[in-house]
Amino acid sequence: MKKTIAILLVAVLAVSSVFAGFSGKATVGLGYNWETKKYGFSNGTGFDVNVDLSTAEAGNVAEGDIYAGIKATMGVKVANQAKLDKGSAFWNSKDDAVKNYGLGLFLDVAEAYVAGANWKVAITGTQGATSYAKSFTTHKEAVKDVFGNKTTDTKDVADDVTGDLFAFNKAPGVTIEVAGYKASVGFEGSENEARTAEIDLYEVKEEKLTGKTTKQEVELGKFFNYNVFVETPSYDVNGLTLQAAVGASRKVDNYNAKYHEGERNWKYTGNDEDGYGIDIKNSVPKYYQFALNTSAKVGYATDALSVAVAADFDAIQYGEKETLIVKDNLYSYFDASAKVAFAPVTVDAYYGLNGYLAKANENGSTKEKLLAHTLSAQVATDLSTFELPVKLTVYGKDMLNAKDYGAKAEIAIDAIKLGANGGYKFESKNYYLGASVEYAHDLFTAKAEVGFNSYKGVKDAAQLTLKASVESDAIIPGATLKLAYGAGDKDQNLLKDQAIDQQFGKVDATCTIKF
């Protein structure tokens, strides 16, 4: 009993010592919702949890001309956890933290090595593929919580064809570092010709994948996997920087590529007749016979000019068996990026080739063939160099497919920020416009934003949105007062007689107290 009480006391002390990682709020509101026709007061509470209940770090470094070292961490964490809602949509626990949080144990060996003067051999594994070329931010992706679940929050990300799709086996082995060079070597295999395994095979009916799998025991026999990798340090020669990497690997493992098509992203077409289809643009087989990874980047910089160019070329050979997707067993991926900055102008350009998708559509239409190519460019100008508070950006995103061309401007004058944007998508034949204003006063901050999207790809589907707010945390110390108008649960649309239902949204006056 005494031991149990002692453990509880330690837990309480641990929690209290990290209580700062736990925050929340209580809100009272008064408003009207045009969607639901509801009005009146509302009360709510919310929590944001990111608490390390306990953390520990352990390590050991020996002494000598040649020595060994290791460092590891352990953490017990309570945090908000995203949850799958009714099998279709993710929702963030920050919106309903009372119902949704997680407790996890996190263990990590940060490093384990044998080292000497100017060299180190890490025993924690081999290296993955490099990907030097990336575009400017072109789209958004879901943010994951600490448990790896997708949330409703999003982040801006860049196109990266080779980094997103290319597979590279981190076979068991070691990584060596000498004088700035990094190399890895590893392998595993089996000489057992009678080796078998029960694997999941994709079910096919009438030459169509159904989205289901069937278990079947297959003879796998011998296998051999490996990883070899070399990366140079970044060389600096009279202001010119150079770096390169090359690697090769094989991955058949317990599921031989001869039998197994690999993991793919499935998407439901919404039509019972069509059933499931493969999102082939974002999917590749998991197992392969050979993979080659090469990367290089060059940079040059002076006080007035900077240039950065990077490129990646990857090749991968899959199994010998022809499948519904793998029509030819050798594919290549390539991308290149360039960024040139010469004040006040910065130019970004990116091109990517998805060889897997290119071969899948090699007999398709011109439009289908172009899906394998990603081309984007952007020109940004910051006129603050000339003491003008103006930023202008002109861009073309996925210029061969979506053909999204647009521009945006930002102006800051003392306490006022103005923004405007607009563009046209030639593929869907719709244009979009937007404008925003923000005014920051000592007592309050006021914001307003309006947007219009013609949705010309669909008849009578234009959309007009508006949101505005006035917020203050200076009037009542410790409380935030806010009057806001914007979307409700559904997409807002102020226009009438459109394919998208007219939704005026809601207006709320709230008082929020946070801790």
- Grade residue 297 by pLDDT with cuts at 50, 70 and 90: very high
Residue 374 neighbours by CB distance under 10 Å: 24
CA distances (Å), 200 to each of 166, 209, 216, 345, in order? 23, 13, 6, 54
Query: For residues 83 and 105, what is the distance between their CA atoms, to the nearest angstrom?
Result: 18
DSSP 493: B
- pLDDT the model gives residue 208: 66
**313-355: pLDDT as tens digits:** 998 887 654 443 444 567 889 999 999 999 899 999 999 998 8
Higher pLDDT: 289 or 459? It is: 289
Q: 303: buried, middle or exposed (CB in 10 Å: 19+, 13-18, 0-12)?
A: exposed
Higher pLDDT: 120 or 199? It is: 120
What is this structure's pTM? 0.77
By DSSP bridging, strand 67-80 and strand 101-116 are: antiparallel
**234-252: pLDDT as tens digits:** 999 888 999 999 999 988 7
